[in-house]
């Protein structure tokens, strides 16, 4: 049993009783990474020296009897699209191979104030574009449950690192499912908060109207603690919501009596693996036995979400990624003929195929003559999708379904078919377009591969999402299973 | 609507990308497949539907116009591929 299998409160009790030190926790992490990351490939940059230094400082504070932060001493991995001061941040792109941020993202700064220990930066699909982590410019990540399979993406490194016990928790980012889908594939918990709850300052922008940072953890309790640490208004992000932050841990009651759950028929229909459907039905019966009630509902525009999403997200990406011009940061092409050549060659050499594909799609959708047909049309469909959620969430507290239509697929299986790859996000994308919060929790296995249950809530009602997820988790033991890694 | 290699070249030019002949062919095929799929959206009548650019009810977010410290020049230039005299350096724009 690893120290990382202990509950957060138990870790803190042991620290308080001086049975363990923060350095022990850090060394547990570094040792596990040394043992397993050759196979998994979750890390892009390790900060052993920085982590040991922070651990030493925290141990000093502990000895002096100082107050402990919410995440005191816990080894954390950060997805490599969040700026970390003095620590290389690449977005898994050759373009940023040498990039060392001069400031911390707000979410990272908040982790530091909560006294977590940053272990390093985690692999991802380049610029968070992808659902398998195969778009990393460095190396793929392997699913700890089956090394021939993908961990999901784009936060594949974050989910795999938590599943493999390399870190206590990780931060991921979610634009169309990039926290929830890898969490489902790797058998861990992933929470995408309501759009605007967590500051995006210092998160390298992919699609600004959708991007959101959130925790990837082993259990729901940890997710509540990490969310508590990172949520809140930030004047540095003008889209950050100015809302009161509740005590999320108070949601961890285990009581879901009287909760009303809507189950969209579109989430259990065509294209959903029967084994996934079965696990979800079992989870619904579990909720019933805990005193919640569920009934079938409809989100009629579900089938249009993927098309709308790829137009909108790619359009936003094409605009956001225009900043990578080889002038102020990043890798510049050698011996450019002139300024235009510098831009063109730096971008062409620096970006990988999926990033170029989305820039092309977005540029096309925004270009003169096509804007109304594609971009504006997709924005209008987004309104219809959002209305679907508004209507169901008027009558129900939560919406529940699978996180992904299938368990993790094989590496290489879908790389040549971008459209097929996009379909893996068919159940997470509508939620992103509506901007509402959702969590993926382990709900069992399909032939040894984890299956994720998606619990979706009302805007800024993470409390009810966490309450239901915690009650379900407490009544089951799926989240306690660990992959059999060497 | 179908995207030709010529269209791909035009879009690549707008996006400041140089594509190889092989990439042009591949992207033409893939963009056609994706846009054909996107035509699905035309099944929906969206007349009179307001577009959603953003889910939060945000208008302009203002702050006081106060002088605040900015980054020191050496930090701002720390990641620059090329710099000179405290400025980003690029090839000559005017001969």
Percent of chain A predicted with pLDDT > 90: 95
CB contact under 8 A, B17 and A351: yes
Report chain A residues whose CB lies below 8 A from the CB of B51. 376, 379-380, 382-383
Mean pLDDT for chain A overall: 96
CA distance B28 to A373: 19
Alpha helices in chain B (DSSP H): 5-14, 21-38, 73-76
Strands A449-456 vs A398-402: parallel, antiparallel or unpaired: antiparallel
CB contact under 8 A, B44 and A304: yes
In a 13 Å sphere around the CA of A465, the CA atoms on its Cβ side amount to 29
- B62 Cβ under 8 Å from any chain A Cβ: no
Least confident of A284-298, B27-41, B59-73, B78-92: B59-73
**DSSP state letter for A373:** I
The SS3 assignment for B84 reads strand
**Cα separation values, B35 from A312, A371, B46, Å:** 13, 13, 18
Q: Please identify among residues 391-430 of chain A the ones whose CB lies closer than 8 Å to any CB of chain B.
A: 418-419
- B23 Cβ under 8 Å from any chain A Cβ: yes
Which of B7, B15, B21 would best serve as a mutation to test chain A binding (most A beta carbons within 10 A)?
B15
Predicted confidence band of residue A423 (pLDDT cuts 50, 70, 90): confident
pLDDT of residue B60: 84
Strands A212-217 vs A169-174: parallel, antiparallel or unpaired: antiparallel
Averaged pLDDT, A407-421 = 89
Q: What ipTM is given for this predicted complex?
A: 0.95
- Per residue in A104-153, pLDDT (tens digit) is 999 999 999 999 999 999 999 999 999 999 999 999 999 999 999 999 99
For the whole model, what pTM was predicted?
Answer: 0.97
In a 13 Å sphere around the CA of A395, the CA atoms on its Cβ side amount to 11
CA distance A411 to A193: 29
Report chain B residues whose CB lies below 8 A from the CB of A415. none
CA distance B31 to A325: 24
Catalytic residue among A158, A173, A178, A314: A178
Count CB pairs under 8 A between chains A and B. 155
pLDDT of residue A110: 98
Q: Which residue of B has its CA nearest to A89?
A: B79
Cis peptide, bond prior to residue A154, ω within 30 of zero: yes
CA distance A261 to chain B (A): 23
To the nearest 10 degrees (0 to 180), the angle between helices A106-113 and A220-230 is: 110
Quickly count: other Cβ atoms within 10 Å of residue A244's Cβ.
Answer: 7
pLDDT of residue A66: 83
Averaged pLDDT, B74-85 = 96
pLDDT of residue B54: 87
Percent of chain A predicted with pLDDT > 70: 100
pLDDT at A420 over 90: no
Predicted confidence band of residue A209 (pLDDT cuts 50, 70, 90): very high
- B7 Cβ under 8 Å from any chain A Cβ: yes
The SS3 assignment for A399 reads strand
Which of B3, B4, B7, B41 would best serve as a mutation to test chain A binding (most A beta carbons within 10 A)?
B41
CA distance B88 to chain A (A): 7
pLDDT of residue A437: 98
pLDDT of residue B61: 85
Partners of A401 in beta bridges: A454
Averaged pLDDT, A48-66 = 96
Q: Which of A44, A108, A94, A102 is nearest to A324 (CA)?
A: A94
Predicted confidence band of residue A242 (pLDDT cuts 50, 70, 90): very high
CA distance A337 to A414: 38
CA distance B90 to chain A (A): 7
Q: Least CB-CB distance to A386: which of B15, B17, B52?
A: B52
pLDDT at A43 over 90: yes
Q: Which of A483, A465, A445 is nearest to A220 (CA)?
A: A465
CB contact under 8 A, B7 and A364: yes
Would you call A154 a catalytic residue per the annotation?
yes
Residue A49 tokens read as: 């020296």
CA distance A104 to chain B (A): 14
- Per residue in A357-396, pLDDT (tens digit) is 999 999 999 998 999 999 999 999 999 999 999 999 999 9
CA distance A129 to A454: 21
CB contact under 8 A, A364 and B63: no
pLDDT at B72 over 90: yes
pLDDT at B43 over 80: yes
CA distance A425 to A406: 10
pLDDT of residue A302: 97
Residue A357's contacts (CB-CB under 8 Å, 6 or more residues apart) are A418, B27, B30, B31
Catalytic residue among A29, A54, A132, A154: A154
**DSSP state letter for A418:** H
CA distance A176 to A438: 12
Would you call A178 a catalytic residue per the annotation?
yes
CB contact under 8 A, A360 and B51: no
Least confident of A3-12, A211-220, A343-352, A403-412: A3-12
pLDDT at A73 over 90: yes
Predicted confidence band of residue A419 (pLDDT cuts 50, 70, 90): confident
- Per residue in A443-460, pLDDT (tens digit) is 999 999 999 999 999 999
pLDDT of residue A2: 84
Predicted confidence band of residue A464 (pLDDT cuts 50, 70, 90): very high
Quickly count: other Cβ atoms within 10 Å of residue B37's Cβ.
Answer: 15
**DSSP state letter for A3:** G
Q: Least CB-CB distance to A345: which of B18, B38, B51?
A: B18
pLDDT at A486 over 70: no
pLDDT at B1 over 70: no
End-to-end CA gap in chain B: 43
CA distance A308 to A429: 9
């Amino acid at each position: 049993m690893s120290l990382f299998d202990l509950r957060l409160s138990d870790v803190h009790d042991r620290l308080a009783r001086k049975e363990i030190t923060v350095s022990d926790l850090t060394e547990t992490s570094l040792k596990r990474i040394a043992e397993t990351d050759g196979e998994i490939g979750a890390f892009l940059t390790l900060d052993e020296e920085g982590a040991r230094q922070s651990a030493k400082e925290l141990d000093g504070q502990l000895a002096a009897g100082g107050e402990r932060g919410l995440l005191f001493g816990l080894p954390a991995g950060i997805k490599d699209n969040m700026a970390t001061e003095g620590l290389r941040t690449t977005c898994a792109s050759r373009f940023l191979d040498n990039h060392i941020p001069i400031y911390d993202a707000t979410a990272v700064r908040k982790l530091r104030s909560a006294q977590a220990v940053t272990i390093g930066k985690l692999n991802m699909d380049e610029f968070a574009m992808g659902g398998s982590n195969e778009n990393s410019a460095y190396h793929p990540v392997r699913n700890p449950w089956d090394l021939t399979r993908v961990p999901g993406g784009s936060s594949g490194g974050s989910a795999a690192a938590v599943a493999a016990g390399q870190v206590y928790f990780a931060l991921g980012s979610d634009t169309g499912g990039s926290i929830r889908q890898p969490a489902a594939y790797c058998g861990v918990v992933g929470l995408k908060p309501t759009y605007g709850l967590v500051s995006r300052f210092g998160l390298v922008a992919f699609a600004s109207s959708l991007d959101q940072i959130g925790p990837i953890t082993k259990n729901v309790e940890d997710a509540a603690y990490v969310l508590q640490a990172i949520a809140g208004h930030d004047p540095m992000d003008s889209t950050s919501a100015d809302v009161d932050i509740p005590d999320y841990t108070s949601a961890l009651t285990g009581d879901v009596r009287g909760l009303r759950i809507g189950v969209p028929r579109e989430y259990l229909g065509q294209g959903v693996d029967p084994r996934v459907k079965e696990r979800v039905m079992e989870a619904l019966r579990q909720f019933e036995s805990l005193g919640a009630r569920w009934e079938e509902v409809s989100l009629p525009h579900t089938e249009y979400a993927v098309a709308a999403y790829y137009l909108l997200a790619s359009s936003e990406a094409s605009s956001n990624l225009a900043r990578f011009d080889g002038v102020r940061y990043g890798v510049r092409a050698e011996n450019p003929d002139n300024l235009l050549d510098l831009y063109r060659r730096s971008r062409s050499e620096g970006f990988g195929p999926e990033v170029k594909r989305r820039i092309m799609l977005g540029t096309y959708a925004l270009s003169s003559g096509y804007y109304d047909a594609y971009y504006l049309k997709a924005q209008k469909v987004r309104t219809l999708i959002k209305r679907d959620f508004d209507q169901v969430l008027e009558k129900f507290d939560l919406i529940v379904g699978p996180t992904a239509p299938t368990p993790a697929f094989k590496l290489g299986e879908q790389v040549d078919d971008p459209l097929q790859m996009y379909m893996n996000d068919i159940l997470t994308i509508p939620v992103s377009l509506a901007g509402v919060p959702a969590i993926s929790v382990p709900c069992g296995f399909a032939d040894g591969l984890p299956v994720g249950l998606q619990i979706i809530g009302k805007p800024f009602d993470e409390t009810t999402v966490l309450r239901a997820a915690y009650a379900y988790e407490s009544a089951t033991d799926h989240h306690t299973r660990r992959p059999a890694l060497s | 609507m179908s995207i030709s290699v010529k269209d791909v070249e035009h879009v690549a030019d707008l996006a400041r990308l140089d594509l190889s002949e092989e990439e042009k062919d591949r992207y033409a095929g893939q963009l056609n497949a994706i846009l054909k799929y996107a035509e699905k959206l035309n099944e929906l009548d969206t007349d009179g539907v307001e577009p959603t650019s953003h889910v939060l009810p945000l208008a302009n977010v203002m702050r006081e116009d106060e002088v605040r410290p900015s980054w020191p020049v050496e930090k701002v230039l720390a990641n620059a591929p090329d710099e000179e005299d405290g400025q980003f350096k690029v090839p000559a724009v005017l001969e």
